Amino acid sequence: MNLTPLPAVAPAPAADPYELNKLAKRLRRQVGQAIADYGMIEDGDKVMVCLSGGKDSHTLLDILRQLQKKAPVRFTLTAVNLDQKQPGFPEHVLPDYLRSIGVDFHILEQDTYSVVKRVLPEGKTMCSLCSRLRRGALYRYAEEQGFTKIALGHHRDDMVATFFMNLFHHAKLSGMPPKLLSDDGKHVVIRPLAYCKESDIAAYAQWKAFPIIPCNLCGSQENLQRKQVGRMLADWERQFPGRIEQIARALGDVRPSQLADPKLFDFLALGARGGAVPDAHAWLAGEPARSETREEA
């Protein structure tokens, strides 16, 4: 599978400078707010920015570099790209771009492409295995180099889509948090674009004329669950503008007592008049209640 040819970097599209300035300010404000709300970056942090070559990670790196100049804390940024050895991958594009803007960077090389193509049958979605392999390579490098934070380019719409994917396909209320600790407890992962909507990021990336590298390994798969959820959310947004923003805000305003998870809220103690714990087996079996009193002789 070959990648489509990389288009030449076009000049920034003609647009209203006032609106573009507003867009840039809005993204900086939203990223700064997310960093502050979740304590994403601290003084002395060594941040690894995972740069895939897509619009989201390009925007993430650009906004973080702007904030770095005026941030109340000092931190370093290193862009890290994983070259997965897809046929036709333009290896020179990101290094040339990163050198031109003076960013510290490192290109990891690992042939995850061949692994995915060998293991998965034709027609099967590749994202799950590909992302696990990619995450493993990035985590190992982060540990070797002593990075204190790993920054990913997921945005507000990604977080909403993940919530619905978990709801529809895994029967659980969970999503993609703005900040998390990796399963092995070794890495803190942050998503500074958590408050940014995808359409703003797309407009910003076009304006800045980032050298976008498409991923045809996964992007060409029309049967992806994420694409299906994305189409659903896009339809909702067309019919009811602002709905995605409402859902995103709801993810940050959880009321455990208004849901149904007894691990998050003590429903057994709520309004209980005695100290006994209900016997689930007795309820399921339909056994009559046992009297604790005995007839006196």
DSSP the chain: -PPPPPPPPPPPPP--HHHHHHHHHHHHHHHHHHHHHHT---TTEEEEEE--SSHHHHHHHHHHHHHHHH-SS-EEEEEEEEE---TT--TTHHHHHHHHHT--EEEEE--HHHHHHHHSPTTS--HHHHHHHHHHHHHHHHHHHT-SEEE----HHHHHHHHHHHHHHH-------SEEE-TTS--EEE-TTTT--HHHHHHHHHHHT------HHHHT-TT-HHHHHHHHHHHHHHHSTTHHHHHHHHHT---GGGS--TTTS-TTTTT-SSSPPP-HHHHHHTPPPPP------
Range 112-139 average pLDDT:
67
- The candidate with the shortest Cα–Cα distance to 144, out of 152, 134, 136, is 136
Q: What is the pLDDT at residue 5? A: 39
CA angle 164, 166, 168 (to 5 degrees): 65
Return d(Cα 179, Cα 164) in angstroms, integer: 19
- The candidate with the shortest Cα–Cα distance to 108, out of 125, 72, 133, 87, is 133
What predicted TM-score, i.e. pTM, was given to this entire model? 0.84
Beta strands 105-109 and 149-151, pairing class: unpaired
With a cut of 50, say whether residue 98 has pLDDT above it: yes
Q: What is the pLDDT at residue 130? A: 65
Range 3-26 average pLDDT:
66
Return d(Cα 159, Cα 240) in angstroms, integer: 19
Count the Cβ atoms, other than its own, within 10 Å of residue 21: 10
- The candidate with the shortest Cα–Cα distance to 215, out of 92, 95, 101, 83, is 83
Count the Cβ atoms, other than its own, within 10 Å of residue 226: 16
With a cut of 80, say whether residue 82 has pLDDT above it: yes
pLDDT band at 39 (very low <50, low <70, confident <90, very high): very high
Range 41-69 average pLDDT:
97
Q: Which residue has the higher pLDDT, 2 or 81?
A: 81
Q: Is 84 exposed, middle or buried (0-12, 13-18, 19+ CB in 10 A)?
A: buried
CA angle 5, 196, 61 (to 5 degrees): 55
Range 190-214 average pLDDT:
95
- Asked if 62 and 151 count as a contact pair (C-beta separation under 8 A), the reply is no
Share of the chain above pLDDT 70, in %: 82
With a cut of 80, say whether residue 85 has pLDDT above it: no
pLDDT band at 216 (very low <50, low <70, confident <90, very high): low
Q: What is the pLDDT at residue 271? A: 87
Q: What is the pLDDT at residue 2? A: 36
Rounded mean pLDDT of the chain?
A: 85
With a cut of 80, say whether residue 275 has pLDDT above it: no
Q: What is the pLDDT of residues 134-181, one digit of tens each?
A: 888 899 999 999 999 999 999 999 999 999 999 998 999 999 999 999
Lowest mean pLDDT among 96-100, 125-129, 181-185, 200-204: 125-129
- Identify the top-confidence range among 82-96, 121-135, 158-172: 158-172
With a cut of 70, say whether residue 45 has pLDDT above it: yes
With a cut of 90, say whether residue 192 has pLDDT above it: yes
